[in-house]
Structure 1
């Protein structure tokens, strides 16, 4: 378990289920951001997790371009 865990969120996609653990400091910053943007905390969390998933997909897509050292 990670110190400072505030919230667990499970996102169900087409074929993958992702469990996200949000640290307390990130959760606090997200609450402030959502208040400034006038959106719900749930929507802000969903947007943040979707951005993380896009970053991971980008990283995975770039793996086939790396040639192993032989």
Structure 2
């Protein structure tokens, strides 16, 4: 399971509900990354969540079942 993804469950159809909790440590690292790379925090969070979704999709495909 992905580090900051706390809960994954199947919803009706092909949808998967993902609960994400961004810890204080992750937020701090994200702000530093944004300052270094000169990008907005909003863009960095969007990229991070997209990465998590891709990782969860890979896990779902691997396990075929989420409880």
Corresponding residue for 1:25? 25
TM-score (norm 1): 0.62
Deviation at 1:62, TM superposition (A): 1.2
> More strand per residue: 1 or 2?
1
- Structure 1 outlier segments of 4+, above 6 Å: none
With CA pairs under 8 Å and 6+ residues apart, which has the higher RCO, 1 or 2?
Answer: 2
CA RMSD of aligned residues (A): 1.7
Count of residue correspondences: 50
TM-score (norm 2): 0.64
For the residues of structure 2 that align with 1:17 and 1:37, how far apart are their CA atoms?
31
